[in-house]
Structure 1
Amino acid sequence: MIQIGLTGWGDHPDLYQSNSKQKLQDYSAHFPVVELDAMFYAVQPKRNNDKWITETPSDFQFIIKTYQQLTGHLRGDSPFDSLDDAFEAYRVAVRPYKEAGKLGAVLAQYPPWFDCTKENVDTLRQLRDQLEEFDVAIEFRHQSWYEDRYRDKTFDFLREHHFIHSICDEPQSGEGSIPFINEVTAPKALFRFHGRNVAAWQTPVNRKNWREIRYLYDYNSQELNELGKAVEEAGKQAEQTFVLFNNNSGGHAAKNAKKLQQLLDVEFVGLAPKQLDLFGGNE
């Protein structure tokens, strides 16, 4: 089963009904899966999680990013007394999604400085212990995990610890970029398409509009065909394959995702009843 969606539901105006205040509901009329990135910035309160679970169709899936403290991104003070407390709060927030049958996976995206060292391998083991009740995808952002001397060991480790390998398409611009390697390590596969804006990929995160610059990219038909073949290949190995487009800043992600859906001839079932034709007009 191949499910295609976007990273977040708040920045895709083509998907919303006029003056809609129910963006997630409108989104779920088009796609069966979404990445919940709000959890990265703060462990979301029960009222938010209950709302998002309730207002989506019964088969809708969330890929939920880990809270930033859990992957070493946090800069500044933590709202939690300890890392263990942060993990516990995160588990409490995520469990309702699993109980509702709406947890596609937890996504642990590590920072560009998280390289392949014994210490960091131990960190991954600790993450697995803390999140043992969930399906967890690991996304590396340092090339060392894929160097010839480590690549096979990286994938063996992911398989041994039942981690999903996050397969990324992104600009190739040095150590902070990872190669596109179509390796499936678990019953679920996860693709994340970040675009190929090489010039903007190394934009400093302290620049005010860094996110708009970094993810400004429109995949062309040839690129989508190539990515589609990779998705199909992974789909032969995995029971569930999730595809998320993260090239949001220019408004390209939704149309790229729709185009990939057409190329793969995938039909989504169980979407929300409201349906808006992305290319103009109501259905």
Structure 2
Amino acid sequence: MIYIGVTGWGDHDDLYPPGVKSNEKLSIYGSHFPTVEVDSSFYAVQPARNFQKWADETPEGFRFVVKAYQGMTGHQRGDIPFESRDEMFQAYKESLRPLQNAGKLAMVLFQFPPWFDVNKENVNILRDCKERMGDIPCAVEFRHQSWYHEAFREKTLSFLEAEGFIHTICDEPQAGEGSVPLVMETIHKDHVLVRLHGRNTNGWTNPGNRHNWREVRYLYDYNEEELLEWKERILELEKECKDVFILFNNNSGGHAANNAKWMIQMLGIEYTNLNPKQLDLFDL
């Protein structure tokens, strides 16, 4: 099945009626798309009650891609509120239990930082993460180009496959070591993840200050030709993999949801397991 959605559900104003409360948005989002990426789990390990609430608000068949906590991927440079790595991973896994019980956890996304390059220590970190996560499906997204250099590309993919990771295919500007090439490999028979970050090369290399870098980097609107290219790629991925997850991350200009809907239309998909759409006041 092809699951198409966006990253996060809070910032897509065109999906929601005026005055909608933030705690009502996910239910409405679930009337448009069958999957979403949870970003809040990157900044803090979420209480299990949050995941229970989100599971309750979404329709049967809805799937969550949940980002790994930043302490698990080496982003956090300050204090981590856990006494040990064991405690951190255990708390994170416990938080996911409501999604697992509901059958709504697609995978956990380990997005490693731009300085996480290919070396023996980092290979061991990857192996450790997978071992600690047990049977929870885990995707890996690299943000350092070295993993896909000619000398390492096949070794990287073979290692991920052997460890049981899901490969994350990225569409993003090609701007040096801090970006990765388009690598159309699935490696996992059940899942593949595609994240479309946009192609704003200038914003990628000059993202502004630390307060607004997201707004700059992910400001991009895919045009029809680019989406048609991705339509053909997605159809090829579907032949190789049971479930294909497509997440648009070009959120900052409000383009992600529209691009995702356009892609659904291009592929001729009609999702039948969404939440009922809210009727306008004068709909009959």
The bucket for the TM-score relative to the shorter chain is: over 0.9
Map Cα deviations across residues 3-51 of structure 1 (whole Å, 9 max, x no partner). 1000000000111123222100110100000000100000011221111
Shift of 1:235: 0.8
TM (norm. structure 1) is 0.96
Structure 2 residue aligned with 1:31: 33
Report the Cα distance in structure 2 between the residues aligned to 1:142 and 1:136, rounded to whole angstroms. Answer: 19
Structure 2 residue aligned with 1:98: 100
Structure 1 residue aligned with 2:6: 6
Structure 2 residue aligned with 1:224: 227
Q: How does 1:45-64 map to 2 (within 5 A)?
A: 45-64=47-66
Contact 1:275 1:282 in 2 (8 A): no
Contact 1:15 1:276 in 2 (8 A): no
Map Cα deviations across residues 81-108 of structure 1 (whole Å, 9 max, x no partner). 1111110110001122111100011100
* Larger fraction in helix: 2
The amino acid that maps onto 1:133 is D
Contact 1:31 1:271 in 2 (8 A): yes
- Secondary structure in 1 matching 2:161: helix
Structure 1 residue aligned with 2:181: 179
Report the Cα distance in structure 2 between the residues aligned to 1:238 and 1:228, rounded to whole angstroms. Answer: 15
**233, 236, 243: which is aligned to 1:233?**
236
- Secondary structure in 2 matching 1:3: strand
Shift of 1:274: 1.9
For structure 2, the 5+ residue unaligned runs are: none
Structure 1 residue aligned with 2:256: 253
Shift of 1:231: 1.0
Pair 53,205 (structure 1): closer, same or farther in 2 beyond 3 Å: farther
Contact 1:106 1:134 in 2 (8 A): yes
- 4+ runs of 1 displaced by more than 3 Å? 203-206
Q: How does 1:210-221 map to 2 (within 5 A)?
A: 210-221=213-224
Contact 1:114 1:142 in 2 (8 A): yes
**269, 274, 279: which is aligned to 1:271?**
274
Pair 224,180 (structure 1): closer, same or farther in 2 beyond 3 Å: same
The amino acid that maps onto 2:2 is I
Pair 53,141 (structure 1): closer, same or farther in 2 beyond 3 Å: same
Map Cα deviations across residues 174-208 of structure 1 (whole Å, 9 max, x no partner). 00000011100112011000000000113458521
- Secondary structure in 1 matching 2:124: helix
Q: How does 1:144-183 map to 2 (within 5 A)?
A: 144-183=146-185
Report the Cα distance in structure 2 between the residues aligned to 1:248 and 1:33, rounded to whole angstroms. Answer: 16
Pair 250,165 (structure 1): closer, same or farther in 2 beyond 3 Å: same
Report the Cα distance in structure 2 between the residues aligned to 1:46 and 1:178, rounded to whole angstroms. Answer: 34
Pair 282,19 (structure 1): closer, same or farther in 2 beyond 3 Å: farther
Pair 254,182 (structure 1): closer, same or farther in 2 beyond 3 Å: same
Pair 148,223 (structure 1): closer, same or farther in 2 beyond 3 Å: same
Shift of 1:124: 0.4
Report the Cα distance in structure 1 between the residues aligned to 2:222 and 2:119, rounded to whole angstroms. Answer: 34
Structure 2 residue aligned with 1:72: 74
- Secondary structure in 2 matching 1:144: helix
The amino acid that maps onto 2:276 is P
Contact 1:193 1:247 in 2 (8 A): yes
CA RMSD in angstroms comes to 1.6
Contact 1:3 1:268 in 2 (8 A): no
Shift of 1:282: 6.7
The amino acid that maps onto 1:172 is Q
TM (norm. structure 2) is 0.95
- Secondary structure in 2 matching 1:123: helix
For structure 1, the 5+ residue unaligned runs are: none
The amino acid that maps onto 1:4 is I
User: How many residues end up aligned between the 2 structures?
Assistant: 280
Map Cα deviations across residues 46-98 of structure 1 (whole Å, 9 max, x no partner). 22111111111111100000000000001211111111111011000112211
The amino acid that maps onto 2:7 is T
**195, 199, 204: which is aligned to 1:196?**
199
The amino acid that maps onto 1:196 is R
